[in-house]
Amino acid sequence: MTAMPPRFLVESIVEDVIFFLRLLKALIAHRDSALLSPAIMPAASLFVVESYARLSDYSLISKDSLSEESLDLIRPARHRTKLLLSSTKDINTIVADFDQIVEDERDAFIGLHTGWLAPLKKFIQPDLGLSTYDGHVVTTTHGTRFLFGADSHEPQRLREAARVVSAYCNQLAGAFARFAGIHADVKPFPPQDDIEIVMKDIKCESLYRRGTFGALPLEWSGTIAMILANLNFVHHVLRRLVPKNLRTFLKIRLLYAFHAIHSLRLIQDRFMAERRLPPSVAAVLARALGTSEVRWLKKRGDLRDTLMHFQPARVTPTLSAMSFDEVLSQLCGKREGTDLDTIADNILEHFSATLAAGFDLSAKTFWYATVK
């Protein structure tokens, strides 16, 4: 006989599926949907893969609800929510993956030029696209490819992955409607048409060689820029698209902050071990990782596992009977949800400002590169 699922697991999955359905429907109608949708797909893919695994464990969903082909489409994006963390690759291999994307994009754009003017055209040809909001870099073309995996540059693959996520969420909402009170017609979040995303095309060296972080090898500074854009999207854009008081939004912020902390720490440790960390970069990373809230979240592995996998490493009978809020409080040393909300905001704001300063970025940087 299959065990009953923990109360907090069902609560969390029900809230998440409503959140992602409402968000996906809102993005479809947004004028900048093509720029915004890819940035949310990693978090949505994480929800699909992990909720499907837990619901299958408790026989609450048919194991053939998602084909292996469908899962293979979204698993790379699910893995990339961890940024530079991996159980199968070391950080050098992951950064090498990012560097290959940089090379591929450069070859794709610069390789188009031939003839006697080719050297000049190659010199001025942009090879990196940026999306900015309110002066903050929120996505890059390199980061988008990295977060989707090896074949993310294929538009058809992106559309198929989006269809997998949408179909699964609709199927799950329909199944839960019978006992969780979900309305059959889940409404989108209210439109936020005043969110204006600005596109800029630059040479990647113009960003990756900037400021203090420019002292690092290009692939490593580029990886930090990708982390910055990832955090900026959640902190500056996603918070405008969804109500701030939703627990799924809190989960996303905490997970992105946790993985950024550990990814930056991996970069710091790698260069310190080889005695190759420039003092100026060491100072910026130490400042980024040195606040009390960053140090507190860094140690919350059980919290991260619960948010990511819908249950902690060990589920006791006492935990099984708790609500999701009660489980979070238990894992966080009795901190309230409002405390976690403040911690998440403070860390994201701190990282956004500190990493941007490491690249010497301001709202007017790359003013010349705006795509009309």
pLDDT at residue 143, as a whole number: 92
pLDDT tens by residue, 318-342? 888 888 888 888 888 766 656 899 9
pLDDT tens by residue, 21-52? 999 999 988 888 888 888 999 999 999 999 99
Give the pLDDT mean for 263-277.
Answer: 96
pLDDT at residue 358, as a whole number: 97
8 Å CB contact between 281 and 216: yes
Q: How confident is the model at residue 363 (pLDDT cuts 50, 70, 90)?
A: confident
pLDDT at residue 93, as a whole number: 95
Q: What percent of the chain has pLDDT over 90?
A: 56
Look at residue 246 and tell me whether its pLDDT is greater than 90. yes
Give the pLDDT mean for 125-153.
Answer: 83
Domain positions in the chain are 7-359
Look at residue 260 and tell me whether its pLDDT is greater than 90. yes
Give the pLDDT mean for 76-88.
Answer: 91
Look at residue 152 and tell me whether its pLDDT is greater than 70. no
**Of residues 368 and 116, more confidently modeled:** 368
- The alpha carbon of 3 is separated from its chain's Cα centroid by a whole number of angstroms, namely 33
pLDDT at residue 120, as a whole number: 38
Give the pLDDT mean for 100-123.
Answer: 61
Q: How confident is the model at residue 119 (pLDDT cuts 50, 70, 90)?
A: very low
Give the pLDDT mean for 115-135.
Answer: 65
User: Which residue, among 73, 85, 33, has the nearest Cα to 49 in the 3D structure?
Assistant: 73
pLDDT at residue 104, as a whole number: 87
pLDDT at residue 187, as a whole number: 85
**Of residues 286 and 158, more confidently modeled:** 286
Whole-angstrom CA distances from 123 to 21, 126, 172, 221, 369 are 44, 9, 51, 21, 15
Question: What does the mean pLDDT of the chain come to?
Answer: 87
8 Å CB contact between 84 and 267: yes
Sheet containing 198-202: give its strands across.
136-140, 128-133, 198-202
**Of residues 27 and 176, more confidently modeled:** 27
Q: How confident is the model at residue 115 (pLDDT cuts 50, 70, 90)?
A: very low
Give the pLDDT mean for 109-128.
Answer: 53
pLDDT at residue 296, as a whole number: 94
pLDDT tens by residue, 209-241? 999 999 999 999 999 999 999 999 999 999 999
Whole-angstrom CA distances from 141 to 98, 105, 201, 204, 246 are 11, 9, 10, 10, 29
pLDDT tens by residue, 271-317? 999 999 999 999 999 999 999 999 999 999 999 999 999 988 887 88
User: Which residue, among 227, 222, 204, 34, has the nearest Cα to 107 in the 3D structure?
Assistant: 204
